[in-house]
Structure 1
């Protein structure tokens, strides 16, 4: 069996799947990167083959553009995206495939975010860049948005 070179976090969110899905898809700029960083959504064509284009901005003027495509979108269940391609299936230097899964669990949502890398080195580099604290902070913000939407 081939190792998947994954990093992953999971959270049980006290809100229905539809609410967490809405927070993820309609309020992405509010939670996607840890504060004080901000997210500019340039394109979010949330369908298989659709374009994803974001710019993450840091408090000291840093900019991190992220361009990719959605590989699979199953409403209220799964979003799979990658930076291995730009829009039009143009290959570009890949870093990861991202999977965001939403599962109903006793009226709540089991949210799992996974980053799959091509190599162990890429996975280890992502871990060293702060995957766990960064993705956990972003997920905390996703939970905040979902709780606001849930009322």
Structure 2
């Protein structure tokens, strides 16, 4: 399987991790100095997912796709192989976020599966492990803040 993944025991309850995804994605989705702006989050199978990432040197990287599976508080599966309305697109990956409650903490696993060895190698060379690891760290920080605020 052409998969890359990261795992982390987040020091926040699953409800706060979920809320950080649904309501605060722009705060943690990219490692600095990049920033992200979500423009669509229709959290249902077939729903549109769209995030634009902005780099420090004027880079603009839109990411468009659809959700394939959404199990609230447990799992999100998405792909860029389609855009809204099931329009085929040039696939790079199938991504997933999995959450397992462990008391007041959450075991998180995030990953990407690729159609080709070339896409897998490209994603790895782009710094997948470091980048997705940093994103998980930022996500945890936002979830901890949410949990502390009782929101």
TM-score normalised by the shorter chain: which range applies? over 0.9
CA distance in 1, matches of 2:128, 2:22: 21
Q: CA deviation at 1:106?
A: 3.5
CA distance in 2, matches of 1:15, 1:40: 24
Other structure's SS at 2:85 match: coil
Render the CA deviation track for 1:100-151: whole Å, top value 9, x for unaligned. Answer: 0000123310010010001122111100011011111111110110111111
> How many residues are treated as equivalent by the alignment?
148
Any unmatched runs of 5+ in structure 1? none
CA contact (8 A) 2:13 2:103 kept: no
5 Å-filtered alignment, 1:54-133, equals 54-133=51-130
CA distance in 2, matches of 1:26, 1:40: 12
1:44 to 41, 44, 50: 41
Partner of 2:10: 13
Any unmatched runs of 5+ in structure 2? none
1:30 to 27, 30, 36: 27
Structure-1-length-normalised TM-score: 0.95
Q: CA deviation at 1:33?
A: 0.8
1:138 to 122, 135, 140: 135
RMSD (Å) for aligned C-alpha atoms: 0.8
